[in-house]
Amino acid sequence: MSAISSRPPRPRFDVNGWLFVGPALALIATFMVFPVLHSLWMSFQTGLGVRLSFAGFKNIYRLFNDPLFFTALTNTFIFFLVQVPIMLTLALITAALLNSPDIRFRGVLRTAIFLPCVTSLVAYTVLFKSMFVANGLVNTTLIGLGIVDVGIPWMTDPFWCRTMIIIAITWRWTGYNMIFYLAAMQNIDRSVYEAARIDGVPTWARFLHLTVPMLKPVILFTTVTSTIGTLQLFDEVSTITGGGSAGGAAGPGNSALTLSLYIYNLTFKFAPNYGYAATVSYVIVFLVAILSFVQFYVARERKA
């Protein structure tokens, strides 16, 4: 103890320490801090291409009068509010099932459910698209099994187009979230379950009142990351609904136009307006911040 306290006090500015973190800090400042600040500055400018001029709050005014922005916002929220709960519930249930020691081939099943996560976003959406076209595999199978009489209009009806995209994202990301739940479940002390079993608590109640509360921090984590991921949804909607000619809508009636896709269109597909696109991108930043805060607030530890 005396050896430690007799050391001279550490200098405020340690040259060696700063030299070690210097390169990393320089890179973060160049490629992270500067672009973030620059995009904030850009969101107050308007104009086509590089001919930007200061516009004050004009972009924000445009935002509130832009029907396409509200279409994109609504679509993003539909994907977020429908897809995230479905996916996380599915992930939780599969994790609980695959954590049960009674199930055979657990390793194979876990790998099979996790496997979609290693596929490239563009590759799997191209496959989904070819499966869901008017005379694709899905419709042929459904008609062949006698479930429907005529093919489901996956690509021409807004409702079915969104359904198809939700099916695609759920397939791709359920296994990813399941892994978090599995890992957390394996950290739960088995004696808790044994005690509950001796007290006669049925299986479903053990899952609902023991497993779920103990997984709360992980559920919160996956909810926040899935929220951020869904708010930034781009690859899937771009690949599934795009690929046509230069013009065209993002899905039937722009039903798959997400905020990120709208930002892309404003920047690359339309006559480029970087300023307005930056304004729309800050909407995502604010939404992520607000929704994450709400989720942390709802899941906070209540002191009795």
Partner 1 sequence: MMAYDPNDAGLTRIIMQSAGGWYFDKDGNLAIEGNVALKAALEVIQKIQTANIFRPAAGWADWVGAFTGGEVASVTTGVWITGTVKSQPEQSGNWGIAPIPKLTIEGATHYSNLGGSSWYVLSASAAKDEAADFLNEIYAKDVNFYQKILVDRGAVGSLLAAREGEAYKSNDAFFGGEPIWQTFSDWLSKVPSVNYGTFTNEVDSVVAAHQPELAKGTPVDDVIKAINEQAQTLVQ
Q: CB nearer to partner 1: give 43 or 241.
A: 241
CB of 68 to partner 1, least distance (A): 6
- Please give the residues from 102 up to 131 whose contact with partner 1 meets the rule CB under 8 A: 129-130
d(CA 152, CA 155): 9
Residue 258 in contact with partner 1, rule: CB under 8 A = no
Q: CB nearer to partner 1: give 94 or 139.
A: 139
Using CB under 8 A, pick the residue from 105, 148, 253, 289 that binds partner 1: 253
Q: CB nearer to partner 1: give 68 or 121.
A: 68
d(CA 84, CA 89): 8
Q: With CB under 8 A as the contact rule, which of the stretches 60-68, 75-83, 116-124, 277-285 interacts with partner 1?
A: 60-68
How distant, in Å, are the alpha carbons of 92, 212, 237, 261 from that of 116? 17, 25, 17, 23
d(CA 249, CA 256): 9
Burial of 299 per CB tally in 10 Å (0-12, 13-18, 19+)? middle
Residue 60 in contact with partner 1, rule: CB under 8 A = no
Q: Measuring CA to CA, which residue among 282, 289, 286, 261 is closest to residue 71?
A: 261
Residue 21 in contact with partner 1, rule: CB under 8 A = no
The interface mask with partner 1, positions 66-105, x = CB under 8 A, is xxx-------------------------------------
Q: CB–CB of 267/277 below 8 Å?
A: yes
Using CB under 8 A, pick the residue from 39, 40, 143, 158 that binds partner 1: 158
Q: Measuring CA to CA, which residue among 212, 211, 191, 178 is closest to residue 106?
A: 178
Q: Measuring CA to CA, which residue among 239, 222, 216, 230 is closest to residue 288?
A: 230
Using CB under 8 A, pick the residue from 89, 100, 140, 156 that binds partner 1: 156
DSSP code at position 66: -
CB of 234 to partner 1, least distance (A): 16
Q: Which residues bind partner 1 (CB under 8 A)?
A: 48, 62, 65-68, 129-130, 132-134, 153-158, 241-254, 257, 265, 269-271
